[in-house]
Amino acid sequence: MSSEKPFSVAIPDTELDLLRKKLELVRFPDELDGAAWDYGVPLADIRRLVERWKTGFDWKAAEAKINQFPQFTRDIDVDGFGELNIHYIHQRSDASNAIPLIFIHGWPGHFMEVSKILPLLVSTTEKYPSFHVVALSLPGYGFSEAPKQKGFSVTQFGEVAHKLMLSLGYDEYVVQGGDWGHLVARNMAHTYGQKHVKAWHTNFPFCQPPSLFKHPVLWIKFMITPFTPRDWAGLKRMTQWLQSGQGYAGIQQTRPQTHGYSMADSPVGLLAWIYDKLVDWTDNYDWDDDEILAWVSIYWFSRAGPMAASRIYAEFVRVGGIPPWSPVPLGVSYFPKEVMPVPKLWTRTIGNVVFESEHSAGGHFAAYEKPQDLVRDLRSMFGKEGGLHLL
């Protein structure tokens, strides 16, 4: 494992010129009258965003904002896969008793999802705990190297995150994750808790209802406990998403390479693919066009190319990686416009739930949409009243 090296994002002008040329050569599809969002992203939205990306968006300004955060790279040896050069943000708090926390993103997220919560988490206050924050680019995402072999699934993502924390001197730490970050964190709790992973928190409690054979006591509770209005609303949202919102996953699970040609060659195709999720998975978040373009540009300029990030879907189906119940303390934040909101009782099937918080607004990208709410939950979970001021 090599020593860390300071890192700054510096996309060459040749890459910026190539992007503009590709945007100038765009050929838009037609659109049915009055389609709006019924068939996917409206043509008017993509036309507007492409024009802004081509003539008005300032990547250098976005790059400067990214480089305000302390970034590094380090080689991490992954069992059976060799060394991967991993990119990450690492900012320590001034508080002597700060809790080491690693933030793990998913797809179509990236390391900059941490940008709004990091300043709040590292700040020092007598009332709430402070955190040393690490946010990596998962292998194949952002500015991390991608694996070259098949079979690199959430277990290996967790190994990378764990070894990164050890290399930074954090023998004990906590994990926060949503989307794929949930499954990575869950694997880390199972594999490295309770010695290293002291607790974990998720805003995406992906799970199934209790089963009679695996969770007999929970199953009985499930059968006799009526759903709350929140439960019914969440199940309706989940049903809608399963019926009309998960098609992207089927493509990325079964044909990531085929899909990858369009993602790697067409910035407009990439924009539409990600923009669809940023709008559909959030709770009426007021996206600024430049926010969207900065987000998508991180994928376009990523070290391994935008296709590499979607391979996790295929690897997870082939390799698996859902661990059994873990005794490591778990905190859950429930946001109503999450893509798969589940009843609280279901989350008992995945871990030792010690903290829960319900929110009246917010969607899939909680750290970015509702940073104050998520930070409040983490402070409460690990504060004195939460009983998990562990480290």
pLDDT, one tens digit per residue, over 53-81 is 999 999 999 999 999 999 999 999 999 99
Q: Specify whether 196 is catalytic.
A: no
Comparing 219 with 321, the larger pLDDT belongs to 219
Q: Specify whether 179 is catalytic.
A: yes
Backbone angles phi and psi of 131, in degrees to 5: -135, 140
Q: Strand 351-358's sheet: what is its strand order?
A: 5-7, 71-78, 82-91, 131-136, 99-104, 173-177, 197-202, 326-334, 351-358
Q: Check: CB of residue 355 under 8 Å from CB of residue 328.
A: no
Q: Distance between alpha carbon 140 and the CA centroid of its chain, in Å?
A: 13
pLDDT at residue 109 tops 70: yes
Cβ neighbours around 295 below 10 Å, total: 22
Q: Check: CB of residue 89 under 8 Å from CB of residue 69.
A: yes
Pairing of β 71-78 and β 5-7: antiparallel
Query: Could you say which of 299, 364, 373, 377 is catalytic?
Result: 364
Query: Could you say which of 192, 313, 334, 368 is catalytic?
Result: 313
**278 contact partners, CB below 8 Å, separation of at least 6:** 108, 285, 287, 292, 295, 365
194 - beta bridge partners?
none
User: What percent of the chain clears pLDDT 70, i.e. is strictly above it?
Assistant: 98
Q: Report d(CA 332, CA 228) in Å as an integer.
A: 17
pLDDT of residue 125: 85
pLDDT of residue 210: 83
Among candidate residues 84, 79, 86, 82, the one with its CA nearest the CA of residue 7: 86
pLDDT of residue 224: 85
pTM of the model: 0.95
Model confidence over 159-173: pLDDT tens digits? 999 999 999 999 999
Structural domain spans, the chain: 12-63+243-314, 65-208+320-382
pLDDT at residue 390 tops 60: no
Comparing 131 with 217, the larger pLDDT belongs to 131
Q: Check: CB of residue 183 under 8 Å from CB of residue 350.
A: no
pLDDT of residue 60: 98
pLDDT of residue 1: 60
pLDDT of residue 126: 84
Per-residue b/e over 27-45, b at no fewer than 16 CB within 10 Å? eeeeeeeeeeeeebbeeeb
Q: Report d(CA 218, CA 156) in Å as an integer.
A: 31
Query: Could you say which of 162, 179, 182, 368 is catalytic?
Result: 179
Q: Of the ranges 82-86, 126-130, 210-214, 245-249, which one carries the lowest mean pLDDT score? A: 210-214
Q: Which CATH class is domain 65-208+320-382?
A: alpha beta
Q: Check: CB of residue 130 under 8 Å from CB of residue 123.
A: yes
Residue with tokens 């759903």, as numbered in its chain: 227
Give me the chain's average pLDDT, please: 95
Backbone angles phi and psi of 160, in degrees to 5: -60, -50
pLDDT-based confidence at 387, cuts 50/70/90?
low
